[in-house]
Amino acid sequence: MLNELDFSAIIVTIKLAIVSTSILILIGTPIAWWLSQTKFKFKAVFEAIIALPLILPPTVLGFYLLITLGSNGPIGKLLESLGGSSIAFTFTGLVVGSVIYSMPFVVQPLQNSFSSVGRKPLEVAATLGASKIDRFFSVAVPLSRSGFITAAVLGFAHTVGEFGVVLMIGGNIPGETGVVSIAIYDHVEAMEYGQAHWLAGGLLATSFLMLLFVYIINRHFSIMRSKD
Amino acid sequence: MIECKIKVQLESFMLDANFSIPDRGITVVFGPSGSGKTTLLRAIAGLEKSDKGFLKIGDSVWQKGEDFLATHKRQIGYVFQDAALFDHLDVKGNLNFVIKRAIGLKEDFIESIHNLLEIKTLLNRKTTQLSGGERQRVAIARALLTNPKILLLDEPLSALDLKRKNEILPYLDSIHNDLEIPILYVTHSQDEMSRLADHLLLIEDGNIVGSGPVNDMLTRFDMPLSHGGDAVSIIEAEVLKRDSEFNLMHLDFLGGQFIVPDNSFPVQTKVRIRVVARDVSLTKSKQVDTSILNIFPAMVQEIVNEGEAQVMVRLQIKETILLACITRKSSYKLRLEKGSEVFVQVKSVAILS
């Protein structure tokens, strides 16, 4: 059965996923909105940068993060000069890595659903006296409900499932940066297949249920739309 | 007055609109598809930007030089072709959206709009449960609740079938009669134009080609509408009395009385009469042994050739102007010229309201 370290890994994982997803929605929403509205010439460059984690080996991302965040890296030095300490091998470092790594999973569904809202409802809202920011919250956001749900679930699930980035910048400190995906790896290394089964099966089931939820929600919304 | 002098450059189209129209009644923006009618409406709403220009509605200035007031700060009511209700809100939610944001909205005005468009029974419905006509009614109510300085209607009936159109038209009449909001109404339908317009703004290829009271615009020979088979005149009249013996009614206009089949309008109802130019014939002497009831003495104002075989004659019956389309041969035989005294025989008319 699971030991104390496993439980702490589960707790760290859930905490990491919740914090990262919240930050991702906060940062990803304005980025996705901007990408969906802008006619900026080099928009594709930004889209490519955000999509990078989709194809980049996580170790590459983790490596660069380690270099930048570590005490010799630019951000590490900046933090130390401000009286702080390097965030490599800390929970904060893990959050930074997760946010970057899961960004496309949040930005892309949001951008798609903002784009599918179209210009019309926003123009209608403008003629009804709603300012730009008002239009965003009163029209664009409610009309993009399914996009937000998809973004949050995918961001959460992808953060739970990450391995490479965590391995590079996390350091597997119990209770701080030790997450489930690494715990599974450790159990397998130590030939503790029973515990690995419990954790792996748990992740499999949770991931499946979350994806199932996303597909049901999207189906529900698309049926609602086709009734119009 | 509504004064407008704006230029909007779109990808492959340029709108150059320079006009002034009265700030009361219905002004119909009339022109073929692609002539820039919708662009004009969007520009007035601030949805298309004019880099320079001038736009004044009554006493509010919305653009002066480069100072451009954003759409949400303009007190406009905009009704889109497809109603464009928010489907994430129910009918009540759609109306509250604007009530929350409107400027200077009074409780009894809200009440009167609800009554005017008979919206109360629809309030708790989802927008997806409304018929096309009901959607448009809610859209019009929502637009009016902005407490607008001007109501902009972009082909509001074009997506509706004839039955639904006739359902909505009386509501437009009551807005016209009960509220003092000027209306700019875009359409390419001659039926809607002749039924609703007080004033006509003709637009072609992005330019305003004419602006004036509707019957002037229909009968002036320098205006495109006074030519061709569709040429009509519009006469304002009032039901004077009803003849129950023959089931007819007498319509009083500035020029005489039309006698038409009774369609049970009460006495004093204001009606519009549309006379197709081809349904009007002319005689030199007053015919007595004829089946035609509507015969008026008139004077020829102007004659122009319509193709090889026909001429269009503009006639004056006291204070009313009427077009007649006759053959060139008849005109020659009757020796018609400017100032000729004739009798106008109107074979049939359409009653528009």
Mean pLDDT comparison of A213-217, B10-14, B53-57, highest-scoring range: B53-57
Q: Which residues of B169-194 are buried (b: 16+ CB within 10 A; e: fewer)?
A: bebbeebbeebebbbbbbbbeeebbb
- What does DSSP assign to residue B126? B
* Contact between chains at B101 and A120 (C-beta distance less than 8 A): no
Q: How much is the average pLDDT of B143-156?
A: 94
What are the strands of the beta sheet with B256-261, ordered from one edge? B256-261, B248-253, B232-243, B270-276, B350-351
Residue of A120, A130, A145 lying closest to B101 (CB–CB) = A130
- Rounded to a whole number of angstroms, the distance from the CA of B352 to the nearest CA of chain A is 32
Cα dihedral A120/A123/A127/A133 (nearest 10):
130
Q: How much is the average pLDDT of B69-92?
A: 93
Last residue of a domain, one of B181, B213, B245: B213
In a shared domain, residues B209 and B290: no
In a shared domain, residues B238 and B208: no
Query: Which secondary-structure segment (H or E) carries B343?
Result: strand B341-346
Q: Which residues of chain B make contact with A131, given a CB cutoff of 8 A?
A: 70, 72
Within a domain: B227: no
* Contact between chains at B86 and A126 (C-beta distance less than 8 A): no
The tokens for B333 are 């035989």
- What does DSSP assign to residue B23? S
Residue B293 burial by Cβ neighbours in a 10 Å radius (0-12, 13-18, 19+)? middle
pLDDT in tens, B193-241: 999 999 999 999 999 999 999 999 999 999 999 998 889 999 999 999 9
Domain that holds residue B169: 2-213
> What's residue B317's pLDDT?
95
| pLDDT > 70: percent of chain B | 100
User: Alpha carbon of A98 to those of A24, A53, A160: distances in Å?
Assistant: 9, 10, 9
Q: Is A143 on the interface with B (CB under 8 A)?
A: yes
Q: Which residues of chain A make contact with B142, given a CB cutoff of 8 A?
A: 128
CA atoms within 13 A on the CB side of B260: 24
Within a domain: B219: no
> What's residue A109's pLDDT?
95
Query: Which secondary-structure segment (H or E) carries A183?
Result: helix A180-189
Could you tell me which chain B residue has the CA closest to the CA of A143? B88
CA–CA gap between residue B154 and residue A134 (Å, rounded): 25
Interface size, chain A vs chain B, as Cβ–Cβ contacts under 8 Å: 60
In a shared domain, residues B200 and B256: no
Are A95 and A16 within 8 A, CB to CB?
A: yes
Q: Which residues of chain A make contact with B101, given a CB cutoff of 8 A?
A: 128-130, 134
User: Alpha carbon of A60 to those of A68, A160, B27, B201: distances in Å?
Assistant: 12, 19, 66, 66
Q: How many residues does chain A have?
A: 228
Q: Which residues of chain A make contact with B102, given a CB cutoff of 8 A?
A: 129
In a shared domain, residues B44 and B170: yes
> What's residue B18's pLDDT?
94
* Contact between chains at A228 and B128 (C-beta distance less than 8 A): yes
The tokens for A100 are 């970057």
Q: What is the DSSP string of B202-222?
A: EEETTEEEEEEEHHHHHH-TT
CA–CA gap between residue B97 and residue B90 (Å, rounded): 10
CA–CA gap between residue B318 and residue B342 (Å, rounded): 12
φ, ψ (nearest 5 deg) of residue B336: -75, 135
Within a domain: B147: yes
Residue type, B353: S
Q: What is the DSSP string of B72-121?
A: GGS-EEEE-TT----TTSBHHHHHHHHHHH-SS--HHHHHHHHHHTT-GG
Q: Is A125 on the interface with B (CB under 8 A)?
A: yes
pLDDT greater at residue A5 or residue B3: B3
User: Alpha carbon of B103 to those of A225, B72, B145: distances in Å?
Assistant: 33, 11, 9
CA–CA gap between residue A214 and residue B191 (Å, rounded): 51
What are the strands of the beta sheet with B183-187, ordered from one edge? B67-68, B60-64, B53-57, B2-10, B13-21, B207-213, B199-204, B26-30, B183-187, B150-154, B76-79
Are B343 and B285 within 8 A, CB to CB?
A: yes
In a shared domain, residues B129 and B266: no
B314: pLDDT strictly greater than 90 = yes
CA–CA gap between residue A199 and residue A202 (Å, rounded): 5
- What does DSSP assign to residue A41? T
Within a domain: B224: no
B98: pLDDT strictly greater than 70 = yes
In a shared domain, residues B200 and B236: no
Domains of chain A, first to last: 4-55+100-164+180-226 (1.10.3720.10)
Q: Which residues of B touch A (CB under 8 A)?
A: 45-47, 70-73, 76-78, 80, 84, 86-88, 97-98, 101-103, 128, 142-143, 146
B294: pLDDT strictly greater than 90 = yes
Which CATH number fits the domain that encloses residue B127?
3.40.50.300
In a shared domain, residues B201 and B330: no
Within a domain: B220: no
Last residue of a domain, one of B179, B213, B247: B213
In a shared domain, residues B89 and B128: yes
Confirm whether pTM is higher than 0.80: yes
* Contact between chains at A123 and B71 (C-beta distance less than 8 A): yes
In a shared domain, residues B277 and B162: no
Cα dihedral A141/A142/A147/A150 (nearest 10):
120
Could you tell me which chain A residue has the CA closest to the CA of B102? A129
pLDDT greater at residue A80 or residue B48: B48
CA B174, distance to chain mean position in Å, is 14
* Contact between chains at A139 and B86 (C-beta distance less than 8 A): yes
* Contact between chains at A130 and B47 (C-beta distance less than 8 A): no
- Rounded to a whole number of angstroms, the distance from the CA of B192 to the nearest CA of chain A is 24
Residue of A124, A125, A132 lying closest to B80 (CB–CB) = A124
The closest alpha carbon to A12, from A173, A161, A177, A172, belongs to A177
B73: pLDDT strictly greater than 90 = yes
Within a domain: B221: no
> What's residue A85's pLDDT?
78
> What's residue A228's pLDDT?
44
Are B142 and B83 within 8 A, CB to CB?
A: no
Number of domains in chain B: 2
* Contact between chains at B76 and A126 (C-beta distance less than 8 A): no
pLDDT greater at residue B98 or residue A5: B98
Query: Which secondary-structure segment (H or E) carries A218?
Result: helix A193-226
Within a domain: B44: yes
pLDDT in tens, B259-287: 999 888 899 989 999 999 999 999 999 98
Q: How much is the average pLDDT of B139-150?
A: 94
* Contact between chains at B98 and A120 (C-beta distance less than 8 A): no
CA–CA gap between residue B75 and residue B56 (Å, rounded): 12
ipTM summary value: 0.86
In a shared domain, residues B6 and B33: yes
Could you tell me which chain B residue has the CA closest to the CA of A124? B84
Q: Which residues of chain A make contact with B80, given a CB cutoff of 8 A?
A: 120, 124
The parts of chain A modelled with pLDDT lower than 70 are: 222-228
CA–CA gap between residue A33 and residue B108 (Å, rounded): 39
Contacts 24+ apart (CB under 8 A), B62-67: B63/B6
Q: Is A130 on the interface with B (CB under 8 A)?
A: yes
> What's residue A224's pLDDT?
61
Residue B295 burial by Cβ neighbours in a 10 Å radius (0-12, 13-18, 19+)? middle
* Contact between chains at A143 and B76 (C-beta distance less than 8 A): no
